[in-house]
A and B are shown apart, each in its own frame.
Chain A
Amino acid sequence: MPLKKMLLSASLLGLFAVLGTALVAFTYESTHERIAQNERNTLLRSLHALIPPERHDNDPVTDSIAVTDTALLGSPLPQQVYRARKDGEPVALALTAVAPDGYSGDIGLLIAINHDGSLAGVRVTAHRETPGLGDKVDVARTDWVHAFAGRSLSNPLPDKWKVKKDGGVFDQFTGATVTPRAVVKAVRNALDYYQQHRDTLFDGGRSGAAQEVPHG
């Protein structure tokens, strides 16, 4: 009886689909809080590496807004801005940005800027640069990114915001100029963006109205 056979097969298949979904749903239920907590902690740790916890008394993870600027922030996608405040006064912010012209595609950056427009620090958060050459921009490899701390649009002057090979002040690496060049340019663009939008960047989106952190 082919019809009966077919129905039996179909219901067996359906049964296993339900079982599989149940397994995944159960695992998700029992892990998603922990995963969200992990992601939050990781983000907070990278923020605190740039803006130490004693400099602010708010929660920058929730006090965040999303902004989009394809030209200056390097991506057509919204980027997050995490604001740090003390006693309600703006202290610094950390924004995500993309250096779109890395040697192997996009380089993800977290750029912390003090309220006065000087850099609190820069970290490379995601990259696919060549191991041993371009990956020296990663703080786990060398301390090259520390050269940005304290810099601003007037230090050095705009035409010196380049790697040394291009007549600027920032070191490049032997055998890898493209990566540091891309990072220097992206940081400079982010500073430009900050200068243009400084007054609005610390406004709005407060008191838990923060947007979702986009998941890669």
Chain B
Amino acid sequence: MADKTLRQIAGDGLWHNNVAFVQILGLCPLLAVTSSVVNGLGLGLATLLTLVLSNVTVSAIRNLIRPDIRIPVFVMLIASIVTAIELAMHAWFHELHGILGIFIPLIVTNCSILGRAEAFASKNNIGRSFVDGLTMGLGFAAALVLLGAMRELLGAGTLFDQAHLMFGEAARAFRLTVFEDYKGFLLAILPPGAFIGLGLLIALKNVIDQRRAAAPQPAPAAAELAAE
């Protein structure tokens, strides 16, 4: 593990070991919040920030803490960071906080954050932990945005609705009405739509992986096939 290159770490975070599509972690916020692109992006950025900060902090103190108390220390650090982010969000993105409010504290319970602290940051230096937190967070945020886009498009026929909650009044114009006079498809907005959407996205990722593995390529692809 310790001899992975930064490129490999990034590849794992963004694709091969994606938090949402491969590790299937953090499903509570993932499924609950993604009824629109803006909600997904808001929670994705908050999670990304938490992951980066917690990974860097944990990595910085990794030689200081003893193994028998590491988990309580990680939990305490993550909880403090999330609380600080929630307060900051309440102060500067008040209306978005109104929508995402109850899910921000839930980032504490997103196991991927403790998971990365334990599995990666506690064993790697600060730079590598930063890259890991950044790419894992970006991979998760991308999954949230993708699922949000899919559900908003199918459910309401728009994209980037209510972007002004995040980017200020000028962003009202970001709203794209993709289908005029769309009646809406309720299922996509309701929780079952989240499960179905996530399932389809995971299937899509697997199909892409299989296509890549099957394509006649030199050694690495063959090795992947053999591994399956």
Residue of A nearest to B76 (CB): A20
A24: B residues at CB distance < 8 A: 80, 83-84, 87
CA separation between A9 and B67, bound complex, in Å? Answer: 9
CA separation between A130 and B186, bound complex, in Å? Answer: 9
Contact residue among A5, A16, A31 (Cβ-Cβ distance under 8 Å from B91): A31
Whether B91 contacts A13 by the Cβ 8 Å rule is: no
Whether B69 contacts A9 by the Cβ 8 Å rule is: yes
Within 8 A of A (CB), among B94-143: 94-95
Known: A12-B66, A132-B184, A132-B189. A17 touches B83 (CB 8 A): no
CA separation between A32 and B95, bound complex, in Å? Answer: 16
Known: A13-B69, A38-B94, A42-B94. A27 touches B186 (CB 8 A): no
Whether A9 contacts B68 by the Cβ 8 Å rule is: yes
User: How would residues 53 to 92 of chain B score, 1 for a CB under 8 Å from any chain A CB and 0 otherwise?
Assistant: 0000000010011101100110011011101100110111
A133: B residues at CB distance < 8 A: 186
Number of A residues whose C-beta is below 8 Å from B?
25
Whether A9 contacts B76 by the Cβ 8 Å rule is: no
B92: A residues at CB distance < 8 A: 34
Q: Does B221 contact A (CB under 8 A)?
A: no
Contact residue among A8, A12, A16, A32 (Cβ-Cβ distance under 8 Å from B77): A16
Looking at chain B, what size class is its interface with the partner chain?
20 to 34
CA separation between A9 and B84, bound complex, in Å? Answer: 26
Classify the interface of chain B: helix, strand, loop or mixed. Answer: helix
User: How would residues 54 to 82 of chain A score, 1 for a CB under 8 Å from any chain B CB and 0 otherwise?
Assistant: 00000000000000000000000000000
Known: A31-B90, A34-B91, A38-B94. A16 touches B73 (CB 8 A): yes
Q: Does B27 contact A (CB under 8 A)?
A: no
Whether A131 contacts B66 by the Cβ 8 Å rule is: no
CA separation between A80 and B92, bound complex, in Å? Answer: 26
Residue of B nearest to A33 (CB): B91
Residue of B nearest to A175 (CB): B186
Whether B87 contacts A31 by the Cβ 8 Å rule is: yes
B73: A residues at CB distance < 8 A: 12-13, 16
Whether A27 contacts B88 by the Cβ 8 Å rule is: yes
Q: Does B45 contact A (CB under 8 A)?
A: no
Whether B81 contacts A23 by the Cβ 8 Å rule is: yes
Whether A13 contacts B186 by the Cβ 8 Å rule is: no
User: How would residues 3 to 37 of chain A score, 1 for a CB under 8 Å from any chain B CB and 0 otherwise?
Assistant: 00100110011001101110110011001101100
Contact residue among B68, B77, B91 (Cβ-Cβ distance under 8 Å from A20): B77
Whether A12 contacts B69 by the Cβ 8 Å rule is: yes
Q: Does B49 contact A (CB under 8 A)?
A: no
Whether A132 contacts B80 by the Cβ 8 Å rule is: no
A5: B residues at CB distance < 8 A: 66
CA separation between A42 and B80, bound complex, in Å? Answer: 27
Q: Does B190 contact A (CB under 8 A)?
A: yes
Residue of B nearest to A28 (CB): B87
Whether B80 contacts A20 by the Cβ 8 Å rule is: yes
A13: B residues at CB distance < 8 A: 69, 72-73
Contact residue among B66, B72, B77, B91 (Cβ-Cβ distance under 8 Å from A35): B91
Q: A19-B80, A34-B91 are in contact. List 9 more A-B contacts (CB 8 A).
A: A5-B66, A13-B73, A16-B61, A16-B65, A16-B73, A20-B76, A21-B80, A24-B80, A27-B84
Q: Can you list 8 residue pairs at the A/B interface with Cβ under 8 Å?
A: A12-B69, A16-B61, A20-B77, A24-B87, A31-B88, A35-B87, A39-B94, A133-B186
